[in-house]
């Protein structure tokens, strides 16, 4: 496949719910929705509190540190990732009590293990979008 025909990595399509989140990601900040009534965070962003059903959510910036909950090495690439394989995907438990997933960078497949500390890092998808990823927190 010619470089000009290479499929692009899918970019997120921000919604009225997620626009503050993606705006922050583009500035290399990571926001989580926080429910002050029960003192709990949630991810992915929703239109109400997962814990109470109320719409009293606040955005809070977090450090983005956590541990690997599970991982998989992608051998057959997803759409838009052709030529990148093999690459690692991790599920990460953040210190704030939520779980998310993304790419793991700067780590060999043999070195990733469950429980390993990781921290957020950033990928440039295109001129308009950054995306969050992880790397070992050594």
Partner 1 sequence: MIKSLTNKDIAIIGYGEVKNVRRSGRTTYDVAAEAASNVLEYTGLSTKDIDGMATVLPSSEAGNNFWSNYLGDHLGLQTSWTQTTDTGGASMPGNVARAAAAIQSGYCETVLSIAAATPTTRRVDDQRSYRSEFRNPTGIQGPPGAFGLIMHRYMHQFDLKFEALGKLAVAQRNGAIINENAVEGLRKPMDVDDYLNARMVSTPLRLLDSVMPCDGANAIIITSTDRAKRLGVKKMAHPIAYSELTNFNIHDQQPDITDTGFSIVGPQALKKASMSTEDIDMFHPYDDFLIAEMLQLEQIGFCGRGEGSEYLLSTDISPTGKLPINTGGGQISAGQPGLAGGQLNIIEALRQLFGEATDRQVPNPSTAMCTGIGVIPYVRNWGTSAVLIMERG
118 binds partner 1, rule: CB under 8 A: no
CB of 58 to partner 1, least distance (A): 16
Residue 19: CB minimum distance to partner 1, A = 11
Binding string, residues 8-47; x marks residues near partner 1 by CB under 8 A:
-xxxxxxx--x---------------------xxxxx---
Pairing of strands 130-136, 87-94: unpaired
Site for partner 1 in 64-103 (CB under 8 A): 69-81, 84, 87, 89, 91, 93, 97-103
Instruction: Work out how close the CB of 63 gets to partner 1 at its nearest, in angstroms, rounded to a whole number.
Output: 17
Residue among 100 and 120 whose Cβ is closer to partner 1: 100
Tokens of 8: 């692009």
# binding residues, partner 1 (CB under 8 A): 44
SS3 per residue for the chain: CCHHHCCCCCCCCCCCCCHHHHHHHHCCCEEEEEECCCCEEECCCCCCCCCCCCCCCEEEEECCEEEEEEEEEECCCCCCCCCCCCEEEEEEEECCCCEEEEEECCCCCCCCCCCCEEEEEEEECCCCCEEEEEEECC
- Residues in touch with partner 1 (CB under 8 A): 9-15, 18, 40-44, 50-51, 69-81, 84, 87, 89, 91, 93, 97-103, 109, 114, 125, 131
């Amino acid at each position: 496949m010619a470089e000009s025909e290479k499929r692009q990595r899918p970019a997120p399509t921000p919604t009225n719910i997620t626009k503050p989140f993606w705006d922050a990601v583009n500035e290399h900040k990571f926001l989580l929705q926080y429910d002050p009534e029960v003192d709990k965070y949630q991810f992915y962003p929703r239109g109400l509190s997962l814990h109470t059903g109320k719409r009293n959510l606040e955005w809070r910036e977090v450090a983005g540190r956590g541990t690997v909950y599970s991982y998989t090495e992608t051998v057959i690439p997803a759409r838009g990732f052709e030529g990148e394989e093999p690459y690692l995907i991790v599920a990460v438990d953040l210190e704030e009590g939520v779980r998310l997933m993304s790419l793991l960078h700067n780590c060999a497949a043999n070195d990733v293990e469950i429980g390993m500390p990781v921290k957020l890092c950033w990928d440039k998808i295109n001129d308009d979008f950054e995306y969050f990823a992880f790397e070992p927190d050594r």
